[in-house]
Amino acid sequence: MKSSVIVFPGSNCDRDIAVALEKMQFKNTMVWHKETKLPKSDLIVIPGGFSYGDYLRSGAIAGKSLIINEVIKAANSGCLILGICNGFQILTETGLLKGTLLRNKNLKFINKDVHIKVINNNSKFSKKYNENQILKINIAHNEGNYFTDPEHLIKLQDENLIVFKYCDEDGNINEKSNPNGSINNIAGILNSKKNILGMMPHPERMVDEIISNKDGVNLFSSLLN
């Protein structure tokens, strides 16, 4: 499997995701945002960080970069796209995913391990997880408060496009287990064609026992065919 990681000025989880991908046997290439051609890849990752400082709106400026046009083309032709944290924000800014990520409800940056539940394990990104499996995974963001309009929300539910929801240790999905105010506790969603996943939690931080746990591993192994 070939992967590409797009690097913007201000990306800062690019090395982390590259390490995780290589550990999972992806053949990975880093792609600088000024480039106009993408190497042939089965998976494109837009990593976390603060592209362009997250100035204006998080993800907005990266959403206008040269390389993004290529990403959009690849997405439309069915390439798998994974946006993590800032990557998710960039995907919503480009319109590849619907909705938006607002400031966390407490207006503070939040970094901690939270629990998420696998709602849909029937996607290319999540098939190695069990349905309703509870994962412990790190979040680190200022703007992770997912918001979308009622119609799209219904669509997300009806078409089973919600992959992860925030929950507590025992799997309860409620306001208390919602760290950032996301609508319906949403932590990660797919597009209708199910080839694009955007998620706020950081699976790349959960692939090494000595650092954390290995709850992120199956996301990457799901992608390996």
Partner 1 sequence: MKINNQIIEKHGLKLEEYESIKKLLKREPNLLELGIFSAMWNEHCSYKSSKIHLKKLPTKGRQVIQGPGENAGVIDIGDEDAIVFKIESHNHPSFIEPYQGAATGVGGILRDVFTMGARPIALLNSIHFGSPSHIKTKSLLNGVVSGIGGYGNCIGIPTVAGETKFNETYNENILVNAMAVGHAKKNKIFYSKAKGLNKSVVYVGSKTGRDGIHGASMASAEFDENSEEKKPTVQVGDPFTEKLLMEACLELMKDNSIISIQDMGAAGLTSSSVEMASKGGLGIELKLDKVPCREENMTPYEMMLSESQERMLIILEDDKEKEAKKIFDKWDLDFVIIGKTTDTNNLTLKFKNEVVGEIPIEALASKAPLYDRKWSKKNSRKNKINIKSLKKIKIEDALIKILSSPNHSNKSWITNQYDQSVMCDTIQKSGSDAAVIRIHNKDKAIAVSVDSSANYCKSHPITGGKQIVCENWRNLTAVGAKPLAITNCLNFGNPENKEIMGEFAECLEGIKEACEFLNYPVVSGNVSFYNGTNNKNIYPTPVIGGVGLIKKLSQPISHNFKKDNSIIILIGKTFGHIEQSCFLKENYSIIDGMPPEVNLVNEKNNGECLLKLMNTNLILSAHDISSGGLITTISEMALTSNYGAKINKPKKLTNIFEYFFGEDQARYVIEIERKNLPKVEKIFKENNIYYENIGITQKNYLEIQDELKINTKDLFKINNEWYNNY
Partner 2 sequence: MKLILEKLFQSNSKKNKLKFSIIVTLKKDVLDPQGKVVQNTLVNLGMDDLKSIRQGKHFEIDLNESDEDIAIKKIDEMCKKLLVNLIIEDYKINKIK
CB of 76 to partner 1, least distance (A): 29
Residues 39-58 touching partner 1, rule: CB under 8 A, are: 48-50, 52-55
Residues 76-115 touching partner 1, rule: CB under 8 A, are: 108-112
Cβ-proximal residues to 113 (8 Å cutoff; 6+ apart), any chain: 136, 137, 138, 139, 212
Catalytic residue flag (residue 85)? yes
Binding map of partner 1 across residues 110-139, x = CB under 8 A, - = no contact? xxx-------------------------x-
Establish if 19 lies at the interface with partner 1 (CB under 8 A).
Answer: yes
Contact of residue 37 among partner 1, partner 2, none (CB under 5-8 Å per partner type): none
Instruction: Show the DSSP H helices in 46-98 as ranges.
Output: 66-76, 86-94
Query: Which tokens in the block code for residue 140?
Result: 């680190």
Q: Name the DSSP class of 96.
A: S
Residues 148-167 touching partner 1, rule: CB under 8 A, are: none
Alpha-carbon separation of residue 16 from 7, 46, 97, 152 (angstroms): 12, 12, 23, 32
- Give the end-to-end CA distance of the chain in Å, rounded to a whole number: 8
Alpha-carbon separation of residue 141 from 32, 97, 103, 199 (angstroms): 23, 18, 9, 11
CB of 105 to partner 2, least distance (A): 5
Rounded CA gap, 83 and 97, in Å? 10
Catalytic residue flag (residue 33)? no
Q: Which of 102, 127, 208, 222 binds partner 2 (CB under 8 A)?
A: 102
Contact of residue 204 among partner 1, partner 2, none (CB under 5-8 Å per partner type): partner 1
Rounded CA gap, 196 and 47, in Å? 14
Contact of residue 19 among partner 2, partner 1, none (CB under 5-8 Å per partner type): partner 1
CB of 140 to partner 1, least distance (A): 4
Give the number of other Cβ atoms within 10 Å of residue 209's Cβ.
Answer: 8
Rounded CA gap, 219 and 129, in Å? 8
CB of 183 to partner 2, least distance (A): 8
Residues that bind partner 1 (CB under 8 A): 9-10, 12-13, 15-16, 19-20, 34, 48-50, 52-55, 108-112, 138, 140, 142, 202, 204-205, 208, 210-212
Residues that bind partner 2 (CB under 8 A): 52-53, 55-57, 60-61, 64, 93, 100, 102-107, 145, 147, 149, 181, 183
* Residues identified as active-site: 85, 202, 204
